[in-house]
Chains A and B, each alone.
Chain A
Amino acid sequence: MAAFAATAGGLLRLRAAGSEGQWRRLRGAGLLRGLLQPESATGVAAQRRRVAHFTFQPDPEPREYGQTQKMNLFQAITSALDNSLAKDPTAVIFGEDVAFGGVFRCTVGLRDKYGKDRVFNTPLCEQGIVGFGIGIAVTGATAIAEIQFADYIFPAFDQIVNEAAKYRYRSGDLFNCGSLTIRAPWGCVGHGALYHSQSPEAFFAHCPGIKVVVPRSPFQAKGLLLSCIEDKNPCIFFEPKILYRAAVEQVPVEPYNVPLSQAEVIQEGSDVTLVAWGTQVHVIREVAAMAQEKLGVSCEVIDLRTILPWDVDTVCKSVIKTGRLLISHEAPLTGGFASEISSTVQEECFLNLEAPISRVCGYDTPFPHIFEPFYIPDKWKCYDALRKMINY
């Protein structure tokens, strides 16, 4: 699949890309420096990489899991995979380009460490990757499948929805593929456009039998991924690609678990409940700070973490307290997962609500390239919606 690595802040080192013989001497850099004005003179400065729409906030160093190490998101993933393959001799990792380390470097070093029969490339075929993974899991072995971008998971939709999700149920528990975990990079990255930015959790939320998980940080990612791998049900683990390099914090070296189907209240508050997952958690965290500073409003911030099955109790408990709920996700508004949360909360907490539930989401369009800054549910849109809710 057409791939690129999230470059937030870091360019991959360039080796001579090579071009035909004598034409090679016309190296691009020389051409541009010789013939172009410096950027400031032509006023194209803003065409350079933009500042990200969020600021990653590391959590305090965890103390209860032993020695920690500074890791970014992809390193935390590698660590989880490393722990899994060390503990579980049946565990294998496979997908496109995982052998050399993966297009996002999540599997670097694992093939050398665990062998080519345990970390290997498959042919370019998502339906095959997932079907193959289901088969491994049916025998009881642990299958960790990588889909190169969540945007490319759709050829595997049939295998996931009709097969993986229904294996246990349809067989009367004679068979299951619980030891299957599917990982995929997810979410906006600044320039991913239609096919490198999608957040497809809503499609899978509609499918009983699978679990869907989205971490907000390296520490969360490692613990949640380990829980997914060990969980006795097929899991889809979406990794916010914009955080692969940008999110850095202290992460335990040894394995540990973060529980599935438990949302986390990462900041307590009394006036409004804000719910998000993945990258968007950092956006709403900032919105909470803005609300406190500009409006004197106290926000309770919840990271949902598991989309399916989701933690209804934690969210409802919070809304009962605050009376106001704002849910935000990059995925389009209509049929997005905020709709499910909104619907359930108004059923459970109707009399507690002081204002209609607010959803700040992507528009009902494909994810655009050049218009990304206008498309995403950034802090200004969230702040504005919060303001309106307070004044309702």
Chain B
Amino acid sequence: MDRQGQIINPSEDPHLPQEKVLKFYRSMTLLNTMDRILYESQRQGRISFYMTNYGEEGTHVGSAAALDNTDLVFGQYREAGVLMYRDYPLELFMAQCYGNVSDLGKGRQMPVHYGCRERHFVTISSPLATQIPQAVGAAYAAKRANANRVVICYFGEGAASEGDAHAGFNFAATLECPIIFFCRNNGYAISTPTSEQYRGDGIAARGPGYGIMSIRVDGNDVFAVYNATKEARRRAVAENQPFLIEAMTYRIGHHSTSDDSSAYRSVDEVNYWDKQDHPISRLRHYLQSRGWWDDEQEKAWRKQSRKKVMEAFEQAERKPKPSPSLLFSDVYQEMPAQLRKQQEALARHLQTYGEHYPLDHFEK
């Protein structure tokens, strides 16, 4: 697809049915709406932190759509669109950000550190690239289990500089693991541009150094991402070898709510990508030119998606936080005696000093 949503090479058109492509579009735009509302909610002090996915929605949805629902996903932190595509409910996105009683993660992590066992999305952790060797191990186990399952591992071009990335790539190749390494090259690691991150030809060029088949795609072309991931998946399972996809995209938003990117890049640069090469508008052009979408549907969908997000948001705000006793569980599978004593000590402490703690907002 070019920037106007026209197929460039008809032989590469995946010919996806209307319903599927509409699902792409709805996932990407719903994510975008949720991002804007949750970003703003952090500015208002309602949640403590947030990271947006602006500009990278195509990399998430294109790749997620090419996988089986049971393929295991290891992400970094900017892949919420994968969960969105797998129909993770807004209620649960919000629950995690608010750390309320409905949060599957029991309120322990900062916002956007999603996880979902049911949807095969391994819980996010903040340290970078730690997921890479882990994903490789999971792929090896899947191979041994004859699961016909692939593992996909997402990371940014910055994380690819970590030692763990080198370890992961090399293990995947030598141990012949059915894994897709998906690098979101979005131009920045916080303030660090790619020119300061590497001097070689991006991340894709490293793959062959490890014996890994690699491809670079236009990350803002959701069909290109889809095609590459689909083929990588097919071959990874059939041949038990790793594949590396480097999706070129752009981080339109700030790194997080703690970052103001005007300190290190021009508004003009950001606007260029926002206006000239955005995965959502490219897909919309495609949909409109096929008569699968029009301005009225756009208007109606925007209203509907905004409403859905706001409803989930309001509900999430009202829910209490989990019981403080959950501070102590899941450190190990079984609770050690010393830890139980600490849990009891806190309970006793709160009996005497409870007025100094925000107990009203927590379950008992």
Q: A96 touching B192 by the CB < 8 A rule? A: yes
| CB contact list, B246-274 vs A, under 8 A | 252-264, 267, 270-271, 274
Binds A, one of B67-75, B141-149, B310-318: B310-318
Q: Which of A3, A14, A44, A374 contacts B327 (CB 8 A)?
A: A374
Stretch of B9-17, B85-93, B286-294, B348-356 contacting A (4+ beta carbons < 8 Å): B348-356
CB-CB under 8 A from A169, the residues of chain B are none
Asked if A391 is at the interface (CB within 8 A of a chain B CB), the reply is no
The CA of A235 and the CA of B63, in the complex, are separated in Å by 45
- State which of A19-27, A249-257, A271-279 sits at the interface with chain B: A19-27
Chain A residues, CB < 8 A from B44: 32
Q: B196: shortest Cβ distance to chain A, in Å? A: 5
Give every chain B residue within 8 A of A46 (Cβ-Cβ).
358, 360-361
In the complex the two chains form, what is the Cα distance from A170 to B151 in whole Å? 44
Decide if B110 is an interface residue (CB 8 Å cutoff). Answer: yes
Q: Is the CB of B339 within 8 A of A365?
A: yes
Contact across chains for B197 and A18 when beta carbons are under 8 A apart? no
Check if A124 sits within 8 Å of B158, measured CB to CB.
yes
B36 engages A26 (CB within 8 Å): yes
B361 touches A366 (CB 8 A): no
Cβ of A35 within 8 Å of any chain B Cβ, yes or no, is yes
A50 part of interface (Cβ distance < 8 Å): yes
Instruction: Decide: A19 and B252 in contact? CB cutoff 8 A.
Output: yes
Task: Report the bound CA distance from A152 to B126 in whole Å.
Answer: 9
* Nearest-Cβ distance from residue A54 to partner chain B, whole angstroms: 13
Whether, in the assembled complex, B6 has its beta carbon less than 8 Å from a beta carbon of chain A, the answer is no
Report the minimum CB–CB distance from A370 to chain B (whole Å): 3
B163 interface residue (CB < 8 Å to A): yes
Chain A residue numbers with a CB within 8 Å of B326 are 371
Question: Total interface residues on A, using CB and 8 Å?
Answer: 76
B356 contacts across to A, CB distance below 8 A: 378, 380
User: Which of A31, A154, A370 is in CB contact (< 8 Å) with B322?
Assistant: A370
Check if A123 sits within 8 Å of B324, measured CB to CB.
no
A47-B45, A364-B338, A369-B99 known; A97-B190 Cβ under 8 A: yes
Q: List the one stretch of B47-55, B179-187, B225-233, B236-244 in contact with chain A.
A: B47-55
Choose from A21, A190, A334, A366 the contact partner of B278 (Cβ within 8 Å): A21
Given contacts A96-B189, A333-B342, contact A12 B317 (CB under 8 A): no
Given contacts A49-B45, A196-B126, contact A384 B274 (CB under 8 A): no
Which one of B33, B161, B270, B302 lies within 8 Å of A124 (CB-CB)? B161
A17 to B36, CA, bound (A): 9
A18, B164: Cβ atoms under 8 Å? no
Instruction: Provide the bound-state CA to CA distance between A364 and B336, in Å.
Output: 10
The answer to whether B302 and A384 have CB atoms under 8 Å apart is no
The CA-CA distance from A101 to B197 in the complex, in Å, is 17
Query: Once bound together, how far apart are the Cα atoms of A365 and B198, in whole Å?
Result: 37
Q: Which residue of A lies closest to B323 (CB)?
A: A371
Give 18 A-B contacts (CB < 8 Å), ordered by A residue: A1-B126, A2-B77, A4-B256, A18-B252, A20-B281, A42-B317, A47-B45, A103-B190, A121-B191, A121-B192, A124-B189, A154-B127, A193-B113, A194-B126, A196-B110, A363-B339, A365-B327, A374-B346
Q: Could you list 6 further interchain pairs (A-B, Cβ under 8 angstroms) beyond the known A44-B317, A97-B191, A365-B339?
A: A17-B252, A31-B310, A32-B40, A48-B46, A99-B191, A124-B192
Question: 7 shortest A-B CB distances, which residue pairs?
Answer: A28-B40, A4-B258, A191-B48, A370-B99, A195-B126, A370-B107, A123-B161
